[in-house]
Amino acid sequence: MFRLNPLLFLRPYLHVDITINTHSYAKFAKRGIKSLDHFPHVLDGKASKRKDASENCILWESSSISQNRIKELEAKDGLHWPRIETHPRTYSIQNFRHKWEVLLPGKDANKDESVCVRGKMMACRIMGTRLIFMDLIQDGKTLQVMANLRTLSESSGVSEESFQTFYHLAQRGDYISVTGHAHRTLRGELSIYADSLPKIISPTLRSLPKTILDRALRMRNRHVDLIINRNLQQTIRMRSHVVQYLRDFLLRNGFLEVQTPIIADKATGAIARPFLTNSAYISDKIMALRVAPELWLKRLIIGGFDRVFELGPAFRNEGFDHSHNPEFTTCEFYKAFANLEQLIGITETIFSGLATSAIHLQKFSLGDLPEIDSSVLKAPFRRVEFIPAIEEALKEKLPNLESSTAQEEVSDLLLKNNNSLPESPTLPRLLDKLSSLYIEPWCTMPTLIMYPPACMAPLAKSFLDPKSNQIVSARAELYVQCHELANMYEEENSPIEQRKKFEEQKKYKDLENECNVDESYLSALEWGLPPTGGWGCGVDRLVMLLTGARRIQDVLSFGGLKNVVSLGSASENKSLRTDKEEKNASVNSNQRE
């Protein structure tokens, strides 16, 4: 069927879309939009199917579209956002479907038992002039609404004029309240059969697009993307499931959930550049957002709590990429009298159980997400020892990493193998570079990288490894699909050894990482930290793994930091285009990423 484009008359000889200057052609676009009556009905045989305005024309000025919608609602006395009315039998769509799932095709529930359902209208279809079908969505669940003029006239005295007014006024995106009874169509679709005219309880003032293919535009209008993108909705639901699973597992195993400070006079627990801020009431100090909760949690172990955990945000004033965002979510736990082997056992139990749970959820509730590979977190996990793996790949031994020339020798080793040096080539960064080149790329399946050199883990216990004859840490890092997912180690609990390690770290201080001696924490250690195992997991990356997301911003409710700070920008007035025009416009945007 021919579909009218209100701009087509400007260049009828063109057969492809071209870039159009909005200022030059806005007045013509407005005329075209007006001629389409904003809510066009396109005849298709006996059925008349509503076409969303965003599918038929470019929305040049969203503010003018809103004004047109306001005028239309005012003219029909529909510009209201009423308080919610109590109904004695109100059902969520999920509960409605559960209660009447056994209803047979062609059958009705008790017509005298009227129930109420509310939701966002995502589609509206009319058969002839007397039967309306609507699709409601509420909390991720959908339900069909049937409204028959004859039935409404008999039960509620609804006139044909009122019926037509509602149909022409209701718009995709409106919140609707429907009262009626359960009915299953002959084709088997469970529906609510309205016995009174549906009510618009929260009208939308914008025309809801079918899709937004331009990635940048989607990110800046996240609330709209959530409405129309079921994959994104289900990603957020999977994230909630992951967080709840981690919390429930730890609570079941006797851990105490705690909250530790996010703002303090310094950021401790990891080597990273912090976000700095200040307080209006403590003017003589610069404050910092935490980079990790580790040292606070270990203070609680010192205070007598044997098992503690925290799920919450951490902040690092560092770069962006597909797996890093300056604000991220971590889960950390600390368990007194636990060694590295016990931590590995807990890790395998948590992640294999979570994978099984997530597979079931995806299969039965979150079907728009990609299918999860059952082997993605299957235990037991493969183990690789850091130094032997590097030496095997290089075909030579690493130098003595405790020597004063270790940094220079490792640098020469990288250059000899035609590898560039990292910025600020400290010994820990050089060793991390070796790992990223020779170990991590082969960690597609769950792999524990065991016993890294002691200088890479200053808060972990260390020992002389008889295999390599090097001082290594009692630490393991879990990598899956070549990305770090979890980190665990036996905590250094000697205040004397911890001071030595802090002093050693000062050699690696640079512009990005301040490695200062934390006297406050050392003082706390003097009161006695029992042998303790610590564990940390990046929740965002875990959600990426279980949802198939390629970018960390795809698993965050409002995207990454760049997207968050751009909310409320000029994008509000940017055009929402047709699917075809979106595809053309999105190519350059997606290629730039």
Mean pLDDT over 431-435 rounds to 97
Residue 468, pLDDT above cutoff 90? yes
Residue 1 pLDDT: 38
C-alpha 124/C-alpha 53 separation (Å) is 13
Q: Are residues 129 and 198 in the same domain?
A: yes
Residue 284 pLDDT: 86
Mean pLDDT over 139-149 rounds to 96
Q: What is the pLDDT of residues 69-85, one digit of tens each?
A: 999 999 999 999 999 99
Q: What angle do CA 558, 286, 312 make, to 5 degrees?
A: 35
Q: Are residues 439 and 470 in the same domain?
A: yes
Query: Tokens at residue 9, please?
Result: 């008359």
Q: What is the pLDDT of residues 194-211, one digit of tens each?
A: 999 999 999 999 989 988
Residue 388, pLDDT above cutoff 50? yes
Torsion of CA 76, 82, 87, 89, to 10 degrees: 80
Q: What is the pLDDT of residues 164-178, one digit of tens each?
A: 999 999 999 999 999
Where residue 506 falls among pLDDT bands split at 50, 70, 90?
A: confident
CATH number, domain of 123, equals 2.40.50.140
Region of poorest pLDDT, from 372-376, 444-448, 505-509, 578-582: 578-582
Q: Are residues 193 and 315 in the same domain?
A: no
Residue 568, pLDDT above cutoff 60? no
From 208, 238, 259, the end of a domain falls on 208
Residue 478, pLDDT above cutoff 50? yes
Q: Are residues 147 and 72 in the same domain?
A: yes
User: What pairs with residue 480 in β-bridges?
Assistant: 483
Beta strands 447-450 and 382-385 are: parallel
C-alpha 137/C-alpha 151 separation (Å) is 24
Q: What is the pLDDT of residues 215-230, one digit of tens each?
A: 888 888 899 999 999 9
Region of poorest pLDDT, from 261-275, 346-360, 411-425: 261-275
C-alpha 44/C-alpha 1 separation (Å) is 9
Average pLDDT, the chain: 86
Percentage with pLDDT > 90 across the chain: 72
Q: Are residues 177 and 263 in the same domain?
A: no
Q: How many distinct structural domains can be found in the chain?
A: 2
Query: Is the distance from CB of 570 to CB of 266 less than 8 angstroms?
Result: no
Enter the DSSP assignment of 212.
-
Mean pLDDT over 253-273 rounds to 90
Say if 500 falls within a structural domain.
yes
Q: Are residues 202 and 262 in the same domain?
A: no
- CB-hemisphere CA count at 13 Å for 566? 16
Q: What angle do CA 267, 251, 358 make, to 5 degrees?
A: 95
Say if 219 falls within a structural domain.
no
Q: Are residues 13 and 120 in the same domain?
A: yes
Q: What is the pLDDT of residues 12-71, one digit of tens each?
A: 333 333 343 434 333 433 433 333 333 333 223 333 344 443 333 333 345 667 889 999
Alpha helices in 102-206 (DSSP H): 149-156, 160-169
Percentage with pLDDT > 70 across the chain: 84
Q: Are residues 187 and 240 in the same domain?
A: no
Amino acid identity of residue 593, one-letter, is E
Say if 78 falls within a structural domain.
yes
C-alpha 251/C-alpha 238 separation (Å) is 20
Q: Are residues 374 and 490 in the same domain?
A: yes
Say if 107 falls within a structural domain.
yes
C-alpha 463/C-alpha 251 separation (Å) is 32
Q: What is the pLDDT of residues 309-358, one digit of tens each?
A: 999 999 999 888 999 999 999 999 999 999 999 999 999 999 999 999 99
Say if 113 falls within a structural domain.
yes
Torsion of CA 235, 241, 245, 247, to 10 degrees: 100
Residue 424 pLDDT: 86
Query: How distant, in Å, are the alpha carbons of 40, 80, 90, 138, 313 from that of 174?
Result: 17, 12, 19, 12, 35
C-alpha 291/C-alpha 190 separation (Å) is 51
Say if 258 falls within a structural domain.
yes
Query: Is the distance from CB of 391 to CB of 431 less than 8 angstroms?
Result: no
Q: Are residues 281 and 193 in the same domain?
A: no
Say if 592 falls within a structural domain.
no
Mean pLDDT over 263-270 rounds to 84
Q: What is the pLDDT of residues 486-501, one digit of tens each?
A: 999 999 999 999 999 9
Q: Are residues 99 and 133 in the same domain?
A: yes
The parent domain of residue 509 ranges over 230-555
Residue 138, pLDDT above cutoff 70? yes
Q: Are residues 292 and 433 in the same domain?
A: yes
Residue 378 pLDDT: 93
Mean pLDDT over 270-288 rounds to 89
Residue 578 pLDDT: 43
Residue 571, pLDDT above cutoff 60? no
Higher-confidence residue: 482 or 54?
A: 482
Beta strands in 526-589, from DSSP E residues, in sequence order:
532-538
Q: What is the pLDDT of residues 508-549, one digit of tens each?
A: 876 556 667 899 999 999 999 999 999 999 999 999 999 999
From 208, 241, 264, the end of a domain falls on 208
Query: How distant, in Å, are the alpha carbons of 130, 131, 146, 160, 245 from that of 151?
Result: 10, 10, 10, 12, 48
Residue 433 pLDDT: 97
Q: What is the pLDDT of residues 230-257, one digit of tens each?
A: 999 999 999 999 999 999 999 999 999 9
Say if 222 falls within a structural domain.
no
CATH number, domain of 456, equals 3.30.930.10
C-alpha 124/C-alpha 115 separation (Å) is 21
Mean pLDDT over 444-461 rounds to 97
Residue 537 backbone phi and psi in degrees, to 5: -135, 140
Residue 505, pLDDT above cutoff 90? no
Enter the DSSP assignment of 205.
S
Residue 517 pLDDT: 87
